[in-house]
Homo-oligomer: A and B are copies of this chain.
Amino acid sequence: MQILKSVKEMQEHALELRREGKRVAFVPTMGYLHAGHESLIEEAARRGDSVVVSIFVNPTQFGPSEDFRTYPRDLDHDLAVCERNGVDVAFVPAADEMYPSDYSTFVEEERLSAGMCGVSRPSMFRGVCTVLVQLFNIVFPDVAIFGQKDAQQVAVVRKMVRDLHFKVEVVASPTMREQDGLAMSSRNSYLNEFERGDAAQIYQALLKGKAVPDSGQLSADRVLAEIMHHLRQYRRLRVIYVHVVDKDTLEPLREVKPGKTLVATAVWCDEVRLIDNIEL
């Protein structure tokens, strides 16, 4: 496995791969890799000849009161995970090459980014789009793999790629879960054992919501009510939102369209902000 740290090296290596006609599959990450990331890397290996994983905690997608400083980092562990999973290139750029002190260019998707997590984290998707445009211009991927756990991010990135005509296929890979159903996330490391128990109820709540259309009742209100009712029983959980939306446009739906609908939630578990979603 190659470990590349400079933008120039990575660009040259990526162009060389293209000249060789290799299909480049890219997994952008913020590191602290877990089994969810490993499944993205496996998906990348299935879809490309060469797998590039970037490890970069992107400062522009954190708000001023968010956890950029405390976000978990463990590069040695991450490189071992990459190596073990057959990654060809780990790209670990320096912050001052991605965002030099005079940095001033930002990319913003304005429609799909506005609701859901965009309400309480207004700069997050702008940071995500900005760093991805940089990374796409450095790695020149044919395909980029994202976790379906970040469903709104997937929809925003798809839209940004389409609007800006990037020649990159965007693939969403299924959410990986702990045994109790909790969606895997680097931020789960913030949870103590009591919080961990309540956090697992987020997925249980989503399953209760899913049972509604599964039993033939398509009203979005009923889905939301079931989920809210379940979540309110756990005292460490406070709901930020639960939305039933079209899975591509993220427009709120009155009625579930089976196979085209997402129910997504963001919840505070004490001081830890967790998100999850499932398809209906």
Give residues in A with beta carbon < 8 Å to B.
Answer: 7, 11, 15, 102-112, 129-130, 133-134, 137-138, 159-160, 163-167, 249
Contacts and interface: CB of A to CB of B under 8 A. Distances in A.
A127 to B, nearest CB: 13
15 contacts: A11-B165, A11-B167, A102-B249, A104-B112, A104-B159, A105-B109, A105-B159, A105-B160, A106-B107, A107-B107, A107-B164, A133-B164, A134-B164, A137-B167, A138-B165
A129 B105 contact: yes
Given A105-B129, A105-B159, A107-B133, 8 more contacts: A103-B163, A104-B111, A104-B112, A104-B159, A104-B163, A106-B110, A107-B108, A108-B108
Given A11-B167, A137-B164, A111 B102 contact: yes
A168 to B, nearest CB: 9
A153 B69 CA distance: 36
A197 to B, nearest CB: 40
Pick the most buried of A104, A112, A137: most chain B CB atoms within 10 A of its CB: A104
A130 B104 CA distance: 14
A107 B105 contact: yes
Nearest to A114: B104
Contacts of A103: 163
A109 B15 CA distance: 26
B164 A105 contact: yes
A129 to B, nearest CB: 7
Contacts of A133: 107, 133, 164
A50 B108 CA distance: 32
A108 B105 contact: yes
Contacts of A109: 104-105
Nearest to A10: B165
Contacts of A7: 165
